A and B are shown apart, each in its own frame.
Chain A
Amino acid sequence: MGDMNSKVVLKAEGIVKVYPNGVVANKDVNLEIVAGEIHALIGENGAGKSTLMKILFGMEQPEKGKIYLNGQEVTLDSPKKAINLGIGMVHQHFMLVESLTIAENIVLGKEPKKNGFFLDRREMLKISSEVAEKYNFSINVEEKIENVSVGVKQETEILKALVRGAKILILDEPTAVLTPQETKNLFEELRNLKKQGHTIIFISHKLNEIMEICDRVTIMRHGVTVETKEVKDTSPAEISSKMVGRDVVLHIDKLPAKKGELCLEAKDLCYTNKLGKMMLDHVSFKLYAGEIVSVAGVEGNGQSELAEILSGMKEKNEGEILIENKRMQDYSPKAFREKGVVYIPEDRMSVGSAERMSIRDNIFACKVDQYLKKNVFLDESRMEKDAKKWIEDFQVLCFSSKQKVNMLSGGNIQKVVAARELTEDFKIIIAEQPTRGIDAGTSELIRRKLIEFRDAGAAVLLISADLNEVFELSDKCVVMWNGKINAYFEDTAELTEEELGYYMLGVKNQSKEEVEKIWR
């Protein structure tokens, strides 16, 4: 890439972006994208990657700075303009209409018309299948989005951008939701796109992916672009230390598990969602003190439903839960908390916190009744004392416990959630995607805490789509596929990523007997 002929297609210079709440997301950002490369953008959460991409896609306007496209200065004041100039973006959360077909989604907004009014179905199918063929995407464009896998949804998003004439594609954490096999497939497609002259900006948290597919990498930290390097001239260790500004331990050492008493037993849990789909199909397992059991699986195979049922957020249709050999009578969140189950929910903004309330209010939301004077009035001095202690303990970066949660970055919000949950009087931790989308430093802190509590005798159920996390933390591992536990591994250490991937996709399934070992 670095040769003299390389042509800069997109250039950002001195970008400054300040959000209305005073958060300086981009302070001095300089980025040069060369034609035909796959350019990685890496950084911790809150480093300003997403903001920069939103600026390049016209969704946000910078306070200062210039953007050049093919050497000409441009003002990107709306996504529409960016699209017209050949910039396309695939968001982390898909922007697709579930009830429409792939083809309909691809042409949506620029549908071919018959007589200037009616939708030209034939032309629509032609456009979408042609583009899929051109870029070697093996998908059936007549299928409805609600019936296809996450990988295909992502391919649809990419095709949508391509049909609109995107020469530069921005992919925001495209692999976060994919299985290893789907990721491999995506990379194949990206290489192909590159071959056909497209330029790709690839945002990721995952170092190994960047090493595998990208040509150059730009590292961001605290709203500043630290450095741009050729991938072949760098190493994962170098990138991660530049990203965090210190050396991150990529591996957490842990002591062997000391299996204790039976803490939680689930028997034949079933749950059918509002659309009538059976999300949990007779799921049974046991959790013992002193062990971390992880639930791996592609998203949407029942893991979040399982977590929600085990925390009382959803009510099961069938089955029962026993905690310390006592059958639960009441399945409300309150009852679970009283029995010593704490829950770190996947959605920290809409479930895990009240964002317009203070850090202190968030931490004490579930402890109100323990911090009272005369049984009625809030004991604010005691709250403040403990809040200070826990804020320090969980390293929440803030200027006061009265700061509102929505002023914090994602990682710090997660620390607030952890500080609330892990200071309860608990025996069982249900952690659902506890480190998703948060920076390496916070992830490390939360993982260490989970291990610390495991060693102190807590039972941990870790639901994670991040295989590194599964391998790093768990003692035992189950895989969920299609609402069932389809594999059980006694010892995570003996497992490989490929092997796990097959079970996650349901290509392989263990026999009933093998899975039932979990009962012993």
Chain B
Amino acid sequence: MAMNMNAKVDRYNRYFSIIRFVVAVFIAFFISFVIMAFSTEHPFSALLNLFIGPFTTLRRFSTVLETAIPLTFAGLSVCVMFKARQFNLASEGGFFLGALTSAIVAIYMPLPPVLSIILALFLAGIVGSLVCGIPGICKVKWNSSELVLSLMLNYVALYIGTFIFNQVAKDPSSAYSASFPFREGVNLGNLIPKTRLHYGIFLVAVFVVFTWQFIYKTKWGMKLRIVGENLKFGKYVGIGTTGIIMMSQLLGGFIAGVGGGAEMLGMYSRFQWSALPGYGFDGVVLNILAKENPAYIPIAAFAVAYLRIGADYMYKKSDVASEIVAIIEALVIVLVAANAFLEKYHHKVITRVTAGDKGGKE
């Protein structure tokens, strides 16, 4: 009857979003292939390299995972902030300053390595919170645009960071612009010999589970979702909306900061960033792909990392520019984000599914 029909439509809608995703990816690759065909004489081998490349050696595959770790942190950070409908892009700055903070702790803190690492990551998180908290507090206090403010704030973070780096951490004896080396043992170790894969992968897994639990299973998460879905409704049901918004910005910033710290202690032995790493923006992209669900963010992060490493391999093996991959990435996102994509077909099927239904609107 009508009830089952609704359940059927609901189920169908779920299938449809998967189908749409697959078709979007396929079309994106097809267009990319056409572009490749113009820029190389061997488009097939180039495409093969792009796909197979990341799997050809263990080292390459682990590079995919290494790349996915900071992406996942960034995705989670943005996810928590977006859940409150705040387009706060300060994760970028939080990531950068978090990395710097952890580097400074790793250089100077005379503690046993494990304690140093914990302290470094924790302080990195706090710094991330501070950075992302600024647009948040300006929004709830003075209703300023968190989007504009956070974009500008990222540059403030970059130059303050660079200033601090020059003042306290720069190693004058280094041939390139880098900090003093981290103290012995203050790093996230090495999981598989001959790769750079580090224990940060476990940390990020913990954060994925934690974030998902937080958003969907705790009282704060439920309030956060309510406020994000409908601010007025949140106020009406008696939720302290400003508190919830601030909480989500601080937590998002914390995740970004820890992500920066983990990247620094996992992949480097000296701080050497002189520009924003770009993870904050990647975080936005991942949330579009993962539909703002923390459980899908690692998958999206893996996919993006896989594409990027594949591109790198393709670039080395053939004459296709690695920029092609940026095009593929952009095309997938445009198609996934376009709500109306395949909508006509969707509607036709829904009509067919409901045909013969005798239950009316209810």
Contact = CB atoms under 8 A, between A and B. Distances in A.
A313 B222 contact: no
Interface in A102-124: none
Interface residues of A, number: 55
A334 interface: yes
A24 B362 contact: no
B350 A18 contact: yes
Nearest to B362: A397
Given A222-B361, A357-B226, A333 B218 contact: no
Contact of B360 (A24, A355, A366, A376): A24
Of the candidates B4, B5, B9, B13, the one having the most CB atoms from chain A within 10 angstroms of its own CB is B9
Contacts of A350: 230, 232-233
Contacts of B223: 368
Interface in B324-362: 343, 346-347, 350-351, 353-354, 357-362
Interface string A365-399: 11011001000111010000000000000000111
Contact of B219 (A23, A338, A378): A378
B238 interface: yes
Contacts of A271: none
Counting contact residues on chain B (CB < 8 A from A), the size range is 35 or more
A313 B235 CA distance: 8
| A interface secondary structure, majority | loop
B219 A223 contact: no
Contacts of B358: 27
B34 interface: no
A357 B360 contact: no
A378 B224 CA distance: 13
Interface string A34-69: 000000000000111000000000000001000000
Contacts of A25: 361
A295 to B, nearest CB: 20
B18 interface: no
Contacts of A369: 219
B236 A403 contact: no
A333 B357 contact: no
A378 B222 contact: yes
| B interface secondary structure, majority | helix
B308 to A, nearest CB: 33
B7 interface: yes
A354 B346 contact: no
Nearest to A407: B6
Contacts of A457: none
A21 interface: yes
A2 interface: no
Contacts of A313: 235-236
A354 B343 contact: no
A302 interface: no
B213 to A, nearest CB: 8
A357 B225 contact: yes
B3 A399 contact: yes
A400 B7 contact: yes
B233 A351 contact: yes
A224 B358 CA distance: 10
A337 B234 CA distance: 13
Contacts of B232: 350-351
Contacts of A336: 238
A333 B235 contact: yes
A353 B353 contact: no
A419 B5 CA distance: 24
B323 interface: no
A481 interface: no
Nearest to B232: A351
A47 B360 contact: yes
A20 B343 contact: yes
A16 B360 CA distance: 11
Nearest to B10: A403
Contacts of A352: 233, 236
A354 B229 contact: yes
A412 interface: yes
Given A22-B354, A354-B230, A399-B3, A378 B217 contact: yes
B236 A351 contact: yes
Contacts of A20: 343, 346-347, 350
23 contacts: A18-B354, A20-B343, A22-B354, A23-B361, A24-B359, A25-B361, A46-B360, A46-B362, A313-B235, A337-B237, A345-B236, A350-B232, A354-B229, A354-B234, A355-B229, A357-B229, A364-B222, A365-B237, A365-B239, A378-B217, A378-B222, A409-B361, A412-B362
Q: Which 9 pairs from chain A and chain B are nearest by CB?
A: A222-B360, A22-B9, A334-B238, A366-B237, A46-B361, A354-B229, A365-B237, A354-B230, A399-B3
Interface of A: 16, 18, 20-25, 27, 46-48, 63, 221-224, 311, 313, 332-334, 336-338, 343, 345, 350-357, 361, 364-366, 368-369, 372, 376-378, 380, 397-400, 403, 407, 409, 412, 420
